[in-house]
Amino acid sequence: MKYYIIAGEASGDLHASNLMKELKLKDSKAVFRFWGGDRMEAVGGTLVKHYKELAFMGFWEVFKNLFTILKNIAYCKKDILEFNPDAIIYVDYPGFNLRIAEWAKKQNFKNLYYISPQIWAWKENRISKIKRDLDALFVILPFEENYYKEKHNYITQYVGNPLVDVVRNSISEKDNFKEEFNLDKETPIIALLPGSRKQEITKMMPTFLEVIERFSEYKFVIAAAPGIDFEWYQLFLKGKHVLLVQNQTYQLLKNSFAAIVTSGTATLETALFKVPQMVCYKSSFLSFQIAKRIITLPYISLVNLIMDREVVSEILQNDFTVNRIEEELLLITKSNKRKKLLEDYEELNDKLSAGGASSKTAQSIFNYLKNSN
């Protein structure tokens, strides 16, 4: 069968690539055309557009790039018509994907959505589009299935969280991270994860780098985002004694004593690697003012949302200062808070089920298409 897949971010590229691998096992004649990244391209198929051309975040940033976004939507529709897939698989990225799904439904394409739009956080009115335009929705957070069923009378399938398998596989792999970068085995590593998009990295990086100067007893290592040129980071790192690694985030986390993480998928990944962390976030003034009036959730990190309580500290906007980060870093490295975090991570892992999300989703997609033809 022919699959058209749309993933617009680094995390979507990761999860879509694993889904593609599983689809190939279920469907020996699978043909892929996709919007995504290097991981999806490595599985095989035709890459239409790389996600690094699509990553606009924040209300003001989206507004500024509206012409480009509309142009991409028009191109995507044209490309789908020419490819004529048996199904379109949408991976997260709701602002773009739900627009395409609305159009695709009218063209009688089968719409399958993997990783739910976070309507429980904001834009809950999207439920009408989800009900109208999607043929199936596969959710990856344990509370989402009940949320859709009880609040919106809409049936979804909870497939488990794909990060469980990804992290588990990484942990089992051999590791020579410290040897590769000639790092002292006795010096604890603090991982710095400043985000996956240039806009957020630009906001986060200066403060992250200031923190380094206050903690000489640690080795700080920055995880560069896939899809962003290594040289771009050098604009921030001039004269700074800090190691920058790319495409080795998991190896870094496996070797880290603690982490400072920009809010996003990385917060959950860090927790699954059982690395004590703080979650940070800062956006433009306008985007933050709009967001805090729209989003009513008590937390922004996936760890706290899944646990339904504060497990990791969230340091946001005006609180995102060197002094506040220093204070929290001392807590997660040299106090009882570290032990409590590790205990909470065990509970989190139990909540996310036994794994196999990519395989379960691929099997459900294949069965659905086979039975509907």
Residues 83 and 171 in one domain: no
Residues 6+ apart with CB under 8 A from 24: 30, 43, 44
Residue 225 and residue 280 in one domain: yes
Tell me: do 152 and 216 sit in the same domain.
Answer: no
- Tally the C-alpha atoms within 13 A of residue 198's C-alpha that lie toward its C-beta: 16
CB of 302 closer than 8 Å to CB of 141: yes
Mean pLDDT for all residues in the chain: 91
Q: What is the pTM of this model?
A: 0.84
pLDDT in tens, 264-323: 889 999 999 999 999 998 876 566 565 655 566 788 899 999 999 999 999 998 899 999
Residues 131 and 37 in one domain: yes
Position 239 scores a pLDDT of 72
Nearest to 18, CA basis, from 362, 368, 373 = 362
pLDDT at site 190: 97
* pLDDT of amino acid 284: 62
CATH code where residue 312 lies? 3.40.50.2000
Residue 58: its pLDDT value, please? 52
Q: What pLDDT, on a 0 to 100 scale, did the predictor assign at position 303?
A: 96
172 shares a domain with 143:
no
Residues 186 and 325 in one domain: yes
Residue 23 three-state SS: helix
Positions of the chain with pLDDT under 70: 54-67, 284-296, 373
Does residue 45 sit in the same domain as residue 147?
yes
DSSP string, 60-102: HHHHHTHHHHHHHHHHHHHHHHHH--SEEEEES-HHHHHHHHH
Question: Quick one: 184 and 286 in the same domain?
Answer: yes
Contact status, residue 361 vs residue 139, Cβ threshold 8 Å: no
Is residue 9 domain-shared with residue 50, that is, in the same domain?
yes
DSSP character string of 257-289: EEEEEESSHHHHHHHHTT--EEEEE---HHHHH
Predicted confidence at residue 291, as pLDDT, reads: 60
Which helix (H) or strand (E) segment holds residue 157: the answer is: strand 157-158
CA gap 208, 211 in Å, rounded: 5
| pLDDT score recorded for residue 356 | 92
What pLDDT, on the 0 to 100 scale, is given for residue 295?
65
What range defines the domain where residue 41 resides?
2-161+354-372
